[in-house]
Structure 1
Amino acid sequence: MQSYLDFEKPVADLEGKIAELKAMAAADQAVSIDEEVNRLSSRAEEALVEIYKRLTPWQKTQVARHPQRPHLSDYIKSLITEWQPLAGDRKFSEDAAIQAGFGRFNGQPVAILGQEKGNSTETRLKHNFGMARPEGYRKAVRIMEMADRFNIPVISFVDTAGAYPGIGAEERGQAEAIARSTEKSLELGVPNIAIVIGEGGSGGAIAIATANRVLMLEHAIYSVISPEGGATILWRDAAKAQDAATNMKITSADLLGFGVIDGVIPEPTGGAHRHPETVLASTRDAISSFLADFAGKGRLEVREHRREKFLAIGSTL
């Protein structure tokens, strides 16, 4: 069942009428609804196109958080074969918020890292809504070290509101774990690509997004803090999140212009949640292009490319 965002109400009303007509026709086969359904469908499509042509940063934030948006598990299921997840950081425990392991992408061995938010109450609790604890980032470091040792490219899927801010996480060294994961991403001798598929929140995102190539889905967001958190700090009022989202420049178009990211993966009209197969295919193409571009590059060249890329951010502003 389609879940609608508040600004999608015109589309929801039209598609609701279509559903009513189809239910009526199912109950009475003599009723002809084709002409009316086609008319309403055209109006709904036009309304959707018009809405998504002029999304505000806050509306993009809502799309990035849509509960039906494809999550890490969907990308792994669609893009990766022979998937073998690995658990635990070998220091404290397993953290299900970050999924990590090895598989094959188009037949080529790859390491996969990413935050999993879950898509039901049970799985969201299991994965802590994609907010990782220190052991999650230490597990990511463990996988990256293995990938580096065996010369396997690393693919990261970023989707988190931020690292978990609980007392236990802080006691176990949350900031240090994020810093170590960021450091390991920077020093890898193998190519790594990071794709922000939903929310890219703060250090919790950058810990696995410090890559040779950083891409964002068109309606994803990437920021140092959530709009609500920024509004609370700046105006002491979380209700001003819409203003914060606009002023923080968190959209893919803004960040591409600033040179923070390297490219944008387009989404179909209505967002990735309406046509996930289209976004998954586009993501496959983007990863294939990246791996082809970096095939044959030496370890020093890969590391130097990544270093220069991040040092150049902001240099032309």
Structure 2
Amino acid sequence: MQAYQIVQRARQLDRISTMDVINGICSQFMELHGDRLMSDDKAMITGIGLVDNKPLTFIGIQKGSNTKENILRNFGSSGPAGYRKAIRQMKLAEKFNRPILTLINTAGAHAAPESEENGIGDAIAQSLITMSELTVPTLAIILGEGGSGGAIALALADSVWMMENSIYSVLSPEGFASILWKDSKLASQAADVMKLTAKDLLELKVIDKIIPEEFDSVLIEKDQLLKNLITAIKNEFKRLDATEAEERVTLKYERFRKF
């Protein structure tokens, strides 16, 4: 499959979302709102869920499945309030020794004058700093688009996964083509050279695991795919829980220093 075909699949509205994962894996979930400074960013969902009777902190970017939902969720582009909300939940999880699952599907952070005015760059930087210092187990999964700083702000984790038909890059293929070749219509060629697919990034050791979305070249049904993902998540947190916190922090440091 060509890279740009994967880009198009990553952008489909019916992909597994943050709320799909939360509803599928949690017996109970309590959403927590606001950054205690500015507002409650609807693109960023945070809260605490019970998974096999154990608390888990969820931080995820949510796109809409239709136009009305996308407007509510700002098309999955979170602003500074969203990242400060995420930081707040990271610090609470660290305080109460709760593992953290981050779920990512964004073309990028909200690029608008009001975001700059309210410190989007600082919010993303503080999110990266906070994640780097966490001692609780952390897992980041890119569900669809993993675009720019808006994605990496939630992806500095002990383990980083991608869905098979997801992408992870510093900018979109259209943006790449516009900057280098002055023509966004060359996005397909840009995608081929950007190394933004899960397969590319696993080979480069940027990520640790790919969640298959196909079997024998046939797409796995969404319900079954969600079940497979949930099983993998539970197994990964068992593995991370069995590792000493000091070792996890050291491995995380060494891993991201390579880049």
TM-score range, shorter chain: over 0.9
CA–CA separation in structure 2 for the residues paired with 1:253 and 1:148: 32
1:72 to 7, 11, 18: 18
Q: Which residue of 2 aligns with 1:19?
A: none
1:137 counterpart = 2:83: yes
Higher helix share: 1
Contact 2:21 2:230 in 1 (8 A): no
Q: Which residue of 1 aligns with 2:213?
A: 267
CA–CA separation in structure 2 for the residues paired with 1:270 and 1:67: 19
Change (3 A) 1:236 1:270: farther
CA–CA separation in structure 1 for the residues paired with 2:233 and 2:204: 22
Q: Which residue of 2 aligns with 1:57?
A: 3
- After TM superposition, the score normalised by the length of structure 1 is 0.79
CA–CA separation in structure 1 for the residues paired with 2:166 and 2:61: 14
- After TM superposition, the score normalised by the length of structure 2 is 0.96
2:148 to 180, 193, 202: 202
Q: Bigger shift: 190-199 or 289-298? A: 289-298
| Superposition map of 1:53-132 within 5 A | 55-132=1-78
Q: Residue 154 of structure 2: SS of its match in structure 1?
A: helix
Instruction: Give the C-alpha shift of residue 270 in structure 1.
Output: 5.2
CA–CA separation in structure 2 for the residues paired with 1:271 and 1:228: 26
2:256 to 310, 313, 316: 310
CA–CA separation in structure 2 for the residues paired with 1:123 and 1:244: 30
Q: Which residue of 2 aligns with 1:149?
A: 95
Q: CA RMSD for the aligned pairs? A: 1.2
1:161 counterpart = 2:73: no
Contact 2:16 2:222 in 1 (8 A): yes
Larger Rg: 1
What whole-Å deviation, never above 9, does each CA across 1:108-140 have from its counterpart, x for those lacking one?
210001100011211110000100000000000
**Aligned-partner residue type, residue 86 of structure 2:** A
CA–CA separation in structure 2 for the residues paired with 1:248 and 1:226: 9
**Aligned-partner residue type, residue 135 of structure 1:** A
Instruction: Give the C-alpha shift of residue 187 in structure 1.
Output: 0.7
Contact 2:99 2:136 in 1 (8 A): yes
Contact 1:219 1:271 in 2 (8 A): no
For structure 1, list consecutive stretches of 5 or more residues without a partner in the other structure. Answer: 1-54
CA–CA separation in structure 1 for the residues paired with 2:182 and 2:151: 25
Q: Which residue of 2 aligns with 1:218?
A: 164
Higher relative contact order (CA 8 A, sep 6+): 2
Q: Residue 103 of structure 1: SS of its match in structure 2?
A: strand
CA–CA separation in structure 1 for the residues paired with 2:33 and 2:179: 36
CA–CA separation in structure 1 for the residues paired with 2:11 and 2:63: 10
Change (3 A) 1:271 1:173: farther
CA–CA separation in structure 1 for the residues paired with 2:237 and 2:143: 19
For structure 2, list consecutive stretches of 5 or more residues without a partner in the other structure. Answer: none
2:190 to 241, 244, 250: 244
CA–CA separation in structure 2 for the residues paired with 1:296 and 1:263: 19
Contact 1:63 1:271 in 2 (8 A): no
CA–CA separation in structure 2 for the residues paired with 1:172 and 1:212: 29
1:228 counterpart = 2:174: yes
Q: Residue 20 of structure 2: SS of its match in structure 1?
A: helix
Contact 1:97 1:132 in 2 (8 A): yes
Q: Which residue of 1 aligns with 2:131?
A: 185
2:224 to 278, 284, 287: 278
